[in-house]
Amino acid sequence: MRAAADSDHQECPDIATEIGEDPARFLDHALFDGDTDAKLRAQARIRGIDHVHVVEGWIEAETQLDRGPRQEVIKRLNQRKAHLEANGERPDELNVDRDAVEPTESVVTWADREDGEHRELTVRNSGVSA
């Protein structure tokens, strides 16, 4: 753990290399002492974690922070870990059978044009797009 040279939070470069992000960016704030935006960002990011190893990296980062470990943060991370273990992790690639998706068609009619004419626009979707 080290202080970032150009920011106001500590950094966890080893954890960042391991999990692909630096949890200290979200965690090294006064999450329970008035910084509502930082708290909401941290909570939203924790809810969005899709892999157990990432949660474990966050727990490790929280324990390394000068201000941590905070029991409320550890509790939320453990809840997310339990959810992922119970429900499964989200795959990196969603397997969608693109041929099984039915094409759709939308028709829009504008009847309130100044010139009094009705104009129709048809949009066809050929299926799932990436």
Which tens digit of pLDDT belongs to each residue from 83-107? Answer: 999 999 988 776 666 666 676 777 7
State the amino acid at position 76 in one-letter form.
R
Share of the chain above pLDDT 90, in %: 30
Nearest CA to 22 out of 67, 54, 66 is that of 54
d(CA 30, CA 36): 9
Per-residue pLDDT tens for 22-53? 988 888 888 777 668 888 888 899 999 999 99
d(CA 30, CA 100): 49
